[in-house]
Structure 1
Amino acid sequence: MRSRLILSILVALIVLVLLPSWFSLSTKILCVWDAGMISFLAATWALMVQAKPKTMRRNAQSQDEGRLVILSIVTTASCASIFAIAFILKETKGKDISILIPHLILAVVTIIGSWLLVHTIFAMHYAHEYYQDHQTQSECKAGGLAFPEDIEPDYWDFLYFSFVIGMTSQVSDVQITSRSLRRLSLLHSVLSFFFNTAIVAMSINIIAGLTQ
């Protein structure tokens, strides 16, 4: 986890140095955030694609982001998304289409990327909670979530579980069987509801502003 964070910070700093001086402060903030966010997502998803259940069980503790980091990233991502929408409303008001489109693309990338980041982080933490008590017992069945057909879940299964909560604020065919994961999924559901509601509400303001 630490290596991915360091990588994303380095990428963000490089982008900050390379940005033109005539960019506004708000544009620079979004560009730097997007660069770090995309690099973190790319590194995390690369890990997820390659990881197998046995590897996940062994490395769950080291790959977990931790509750404090989760809260920090979720808060930052939420603020970045709201800032992106406010940025669009401010920077594009009365501007030509040639200026509007690049700003709109930047804001959309920020919002979608931040949304993906939040639920990817939660997926990593669900995997940690599932496997944390079985890191040295590969033959042992881990607990906390009951997957259909009694499969041994990989990161794709945890991504599925996380993004279903992120989109619907409820679980689907995966049953929660532990108190700690019920509490975590409750927090995830509530945060997702307010996050999605804020984005939809402010996006409507953008559309209304662009049509005036």
Structure 2
Amino acid sequence: MARTRSRGGFWVGAVAEICIIVASLVYVVSSELWALIAWEALATGYLAIGFTLAWSGKRPSRVSRGDVRAVARWSWVLPLISSFAGVNSAVLALIARGDGIHNDALLGVAASIGVVLSWTLLHTGFAQMYEATDIASDQDAITFPGNDRPVFLNYLYFSFTIGTSFATSDATLKTLPARRLVLIHGVVSFFYNALVVAVAFQVLQHAVAS
């Protein structure tokens, strides 16, 4: 049986993600340190609340199947835009630091935090896509060991396992859309991790040199 999630919860998250995107774009346009810090504050709050709710393991309320499909159709958009916008902000922060626009130490710390947050947002976004794919499927697209109905923490576990080890752990994929999503996630993670590592290395190198 396919699973459902709360539509209201999705829209609350969507509003938070829109705020993150706007804050990131403000920094991209203005190149101001305060704008980057504002984006990071919003992203930190969004992730902290989201992970706290997920960690509790509470089961989502059920909604109509039509609402589920409407939510699932767009659930992937905002998380990925948020993560890529965050990486862009972090890279611009490093460029600005090299140009001496802001205080080196403060901007280096802000850029490092931005890299970590953008990486976390990316895999959280994929967790939402896995959940949406499972929800929208007429059969279980992703199954986990045990008989309990999966909660969002299951999808976070699955997503971050792929993001860090490129493996699907103990979950079983049963549909083509789920396998396609894992393929995309694995490829994106490979190049994304290379970018994140490169940026983080630059920050560490600068910190050591200072």
- Please give the range of the TM-score, normalised by the shorter of the 2 chains: 0.7 to 0.9
Corresponding residue for 2:110? 106
1:18 matched to which residue of 2? none
Percent identity between the two aligned chains: 23
Q: TM-score, normalization: structure 1?
A: 0.72
Task: Say whether 1:26 aligns with 2:23.
Answer: no
Is the deviation greater in 52-61 or in 175-184?
A: 52-61
Range 39-48 or range 114-123, more displaced:
39-48
Q: Separation in 2 of the partners of 1:11 and 1:173? A: 33
Instruction: Point out the more displaced range, 29-38 or 187-196.
Output: 29-38
Structure number with larger C-alpha Rg: 1
Q: For the residues of structure 1 that align with 2:57 and 2:18, how far apart are their CA atoms?
A: 24
C-alpha distance in 1 between matches for 2:78 and 2:20: 19
Unaligned runs of 5+ in 1: 15-23, 135-141
User: 2:75 aligns to what?
Assistant: 66
Aligned to 2:26: none
1:39 matched to 2:54? The reply is: no
- Tell me by how many angstroms 1:88 deviates: 4.2
Distance in structure 2 (CA, Å) of the matches to 1:172 and 1:190: 17
CA offsets 1:79-117 (integer angstroms, 9 cap, x no match): 23333443444448xx9xxx4443232122211111111
SS in 2 for 1:55: coil
How many pairs does the alignment contain? Answer: 193
Q: Give, in angstroms, the shift of residue 195 of structure 1.
A: 1.1
Deviations 1:160-207 (A, max 9, x none): 000011112221111212110111111111111111101212322333
Q: Which amino acid aligns with 2:179?
A: R
1:154 aligns with 2:151: yes
Equivalent in the alignment of 2:160: 163
2:141 aligns with 144
Match of 2:205 among 199, 202, 208: 208
Q: For 2:85, which of 69, 76, 79 is the aligned residue?
A: 76
1:117 paired with 2:126, answer: no
| Structure 1 residue 155 displacement after superposition | 1.1
When the two structures are superposed, what TM-score results if normalisation uses the length of structure 2?
0.72
Give, as a single letter, the amino acid of the residue that structure 1 aligns with 2:85: T
Is 2:174 the counterpart of 1:177?
yes
Contact 1:57 1:132 in 2 (8 A): no
Q: What is the Cα deviation at residue 7 of structure 1?
A: 4.2
Tell me the residue number matched to 2:27. none
Alignment-derived partner of residue 186 in structure 1: 183
Tell me the secondary structure at the aligned position of residue 120 of structure 1. Answer: helix
Superposed CA RMSD: 3.5
Which deviations, in whole Å up to 9, do the C-alpha atoms of 1:38-82 show, x marking residues without a partner?
A: 233244335434664462676755765523334423432332333
